[in-house]
Amino acid sequence: MQDRLQPGGENLLFLTDDQLLQGIELLFFAYRGFISDPDRILENYTYGRAHHRAIHFIHRRPGTTVNALLDILGVTKQSLNRVLRQLIDDGLVESKVGVRDRRERHLHLTPAGQALESDLSSTQRKRLRAAYKEAGPDAVHGFRQVLENIMDPSMRQHVKKLVKD
């Protein structure tokens, strides 16, 4: 079975199942490389990838609510509460009561949380910067399109709100 891609109205490109499987493997290995440096840093804290994701999105959206973070991460409330409780207890995240709605909890990184986030993301930015530089701007644009098209349509709309060009 072959799939057709039509980039920019050019000639059709036919991909074999084997080429698609190679793409799947490349995604697995790229992800493994992308998270390897943060994983090593997180070992010093006995944290996992869920902690990393929470720290990342709290940093990117200071003051985000617990419910918004649940929506972004797509995890259960119980799972997120366990992660947040640990981050709060360890002094990396603070939870502030909402001004308009006192039932809401707004999340912020503390200075220690900001330092950890910087350590984690600097390794990933370095890796991504080198890959983008090697690939060139056309490939970077195409890569972003591919990633967006892999996402579920509902998530794609959600991400467009989060990620600004």
CA separation for the pair 58, 52 (Å, rounded): 10
- Alpha carbon 126 to its chain centroid, in Å, reads 15
Q: And the tokens for 25?
A: 């493997």
Predicted model pTM: 0.84
The string of pLDDT tens digits covering residues 64-107 is 999 999 988 989 999 999 999 999 999 999 999 877 877 889 99
CATH number for the region 3-162 comes to 1.10.10.10
Give the E-state strand segments of the chain in sequence order. 3-5, 13-15, 64-65, 93-97, 105-109
How many Cβ atoms from other residues are within 10 Å of residue 56's Cβ?
17
Cα–Cα distance list, 100 to 83, 104, 107 (Å): 26, 9, 15
Q: And the tokens for 128?
A: 């991504």
CA-nearest of 58, 63, 62 to 73 is 58
Domain ranges of the chain: 3-162
The string of pLDDT tens digits covering residues 19-59 is 899 999 999 999 999 999 999 999 998 899 999 999 999 99
